[in-house]
Amino acid sequence: MKKPVTSSNKIRGVGAMKPAPKPKTLKDQSTLAAGLERLERAIAHMGLASRREAKDLIVKGLVRVNKKVIKEPGYGIRVGKDAIEVEGEALGTKESYVVYKPRAIETNKTTATAKDLHDYFPKLSHLAPIGRLDKDSEGLIIMSNDGSLARALTQENSHVAKTYEVLVRENVTDEALRKMTNGITLDKVKTKPAKLKRLSRTGFSIILHEGRKHQIRRMCDACHLTVESLIRTNIGHLSIGSMKPGAVRKLIEDDVEKLKG
């Protein structure tokens, strides 16, 4: 008579069923869904604290997302949509500097061997850059730990304009200037109207009230223009003036208040 197969026999047998894998926890997940960013990284990008400081603040229960306390640094947030609050007294003295980012320096490190603003300006390593300039661009960027200033500069309806001077390889046509002025569709979303001014046969200035990733380069690409040089010359009332690559200037309270509007 054949011996009945029991659940214990199945486990010991050659064709035994494997136990179901344990569900992944947040700590097991190395990536987030498209459109989400780690909370600690978002706080650092907003200029509220460094990533290390942000992690400590989160673990201590000093961070709220949409009014709810979050204690997981890897929590995924929707950038520009979710409201992030950090206990003000945990951030210490507010400091803000405007720096001239040289070309070939990243705003935030993308690889272990890359050189970013914290490497180039070690005395400002406790501050976070507000917004971004890509590696091949240069010009003004603010480094700060003032969260309200960061929000004023990066929120979707920010009143602070940013001015860039662009040099391209080809001749800039009136049609290209018109297209960029009226807005160009990128990733199915049209850019906001911009203000452009011809500077030379191959150069122009552009004033934006938004900062989408590689926006100017992609707008130029849509107009069949190849960017040779891109410099951010103004952030609101702050002007590059006589600053050279690598220059640093501390912002006085009046500067900060003007930017906050």
- Whole-angstrom Cα distance, residue 23 to residue 72? 17
CA distances from 153 to 20, 42, 66, 182, 197 (A): 48, 14, 20, 22, 23
From the centroid of its chain, how far is CA 82? 15
The residue from 134, 136, 174, 187 that is catalytic is 134
- Whole-angstrom Cα distance, residue 180 to residue 195? 8
DSSP code string of 118-139? HHH-GGGTTSEEES---TT-EE
Angle, vertex CA 210, rays to CA 63 and CA 117, nearest 5: 65
Tokens, residue 15 = 């064709």
- Whole-angstrom Cα distance, residue 107 to residue 111? 12
- Whole-angstrom Cα distance, residue 158 to residue 51? 24
- Whole-angstrom Cα distance, residue 135 to residue 40? 23
- CA torsion 91-34-162-122 (nearest 10°) is 50
Phi, psi dihedrals of residue 109, rounded to the nearest 5°: -60, 130
Antiparallel, parallel or unpaired: β 227-235 and 138-144:
parallel
Residue 116 known to be catalytic:
no
Active site residues: 134
